[in-house]
């Protein structure tokens, strides 16, 4: 049984919508699939009724390719950074928040609504973006150079690279930078906490996290971030909450004090 037959059995009267979104996606990335089965696999999103095995394999491949290609692009960009700095820069370019923003530019939510999943979380959207990269690599005959140029374009590499460098914390881990700032500002009289709450299920966690700085001596909260989430891992949520608090400090003009 081919994909269309399987799809129609599971999602009656939805194929025309799905096919329309397929064409839209390919036009938006300026890449036309030779073998649509690779694209179908990349869009069999977790939470849908479609088989997930190939989606997960494509996602794994796409994640690996993104790491490699963005590492190459960063390596070629500048001689100013040591390997540790390059790793931090790459983490900023490939974290769930960044990938989810890239995914928002593409019609993944159209697919997820057709498939009965609803609006995708950041982690789901990032997974879809990675799966798409894996599918493109397989479809183009594993031609790495062509994929490199496509990723440079659809990830807005130049723009995002400059944006990260222009942030006061640059390529640094936001939690580490926030700790350095708090150390300068409050000396030893501070504590950084990341209160979190899991609003998902045991087998599908959705963590919502805040970051706050309080005085050790009094317990008084000096400043706190907005709540971020949902995140699959608490560590990811803590980084995003720290970043959110740094943005707040930047807007208040306090980071350079």
Which tens digit of pLDDT belongs to each residue from 122-163? Answer: 888 999 999 999 999 999 999 999 999 999 999 988 888 887
Domain 3-166 of CATH type 1.10.1520.10: yes
Q: Is 252 a catalytic residue?
A: no
Which tens digit of pLDDT belongs to each residue from 189-239? Answer: 889 999 999 988 777 788 899 999 999 888 899 888 989 888 878 888 888
Give the span between the Cα atoms of 160 and 166, in whole angstroms: 10
| Its pTM surpasses 0.75 | no
Give the span between the Cα atoms of 152 and 183, in whole angstroms: 38
Q: Determine the pLDDT at residue 256.
A: 66
Residue from 59, 63, 94, 240 carrying the catalytic annotation = 63
Residue from 59, 94, 130, 238 carrying the catalytic annotation = 130
Where do the structural domains in the chain lie, given as residue ranges?
A: 3-166, 174-251
For tokens 């999103």, the residue is: 45
Segment (H or E) for 213 = strand 212-214
Count the neighbouring beta carbons within 10 Å of the beta carbon of residue 184: 9
Architecture of domain 174-251 in CATH?
2-Layer Sandwich (3.30)
Q: Is 63 a catalytic residue?
A: yes
Cβ 248 vs Cβ 224: under 8 Å: no
Which tokens hold the place of 198?
């899991």
């Amino acid at each position: 049984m081919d994909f269309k037959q399987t799809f129609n059995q599971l999602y009656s009267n939805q194929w025309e919508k799905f096919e329309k979104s397929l064409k839209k996606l390919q036009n938006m990335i300026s890449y036309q699939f030779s073998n649509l089965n690779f694209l179908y696999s990349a869009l069999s999103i977790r939470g849908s009724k479609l088989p997930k095995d190939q989606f997960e394999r494509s996602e794994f491949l796409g994640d690996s390719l993104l790491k490699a290609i963005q590492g190459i692009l960063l390596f070629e960009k500048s001689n100013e950074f040591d390997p540790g700095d390059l790793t931090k820069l790459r983490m900023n370019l490939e974290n769930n928040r960044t990938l989810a923003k890239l995914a928002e530019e593409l019609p993944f939510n159209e697919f997820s609504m057709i498939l009965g999943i609803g609006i995708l979380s950041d982690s789901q959207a990032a997974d879809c973006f990675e799966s798409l990269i894996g599918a493109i690599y397989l479809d183009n005959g594993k031609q790495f150079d062509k994929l490199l140029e496509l990723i440079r374009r659809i990830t807005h590499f130049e723009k995002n690279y400059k944006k990260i460098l222009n942030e006061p914390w640059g390529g640094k881990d936001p939690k580490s930078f926030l700790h350095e700032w708090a150390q300068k500002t409050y000396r030893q009289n501070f504590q950084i906490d990341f209160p979190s709450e899991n609003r998902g299920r045991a087998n599908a966690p959705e963590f919502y996290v805040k970051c706050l700085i309080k005085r050790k001596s009094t317990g008084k909260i000096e400043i706190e971030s907005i709540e971020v989430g949902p995140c699959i891992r608490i560590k990811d949520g803590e980084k995003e909450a720290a970043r959110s608090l740094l943005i707040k400090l930047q807007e208040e003009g306090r980071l350079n004090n």
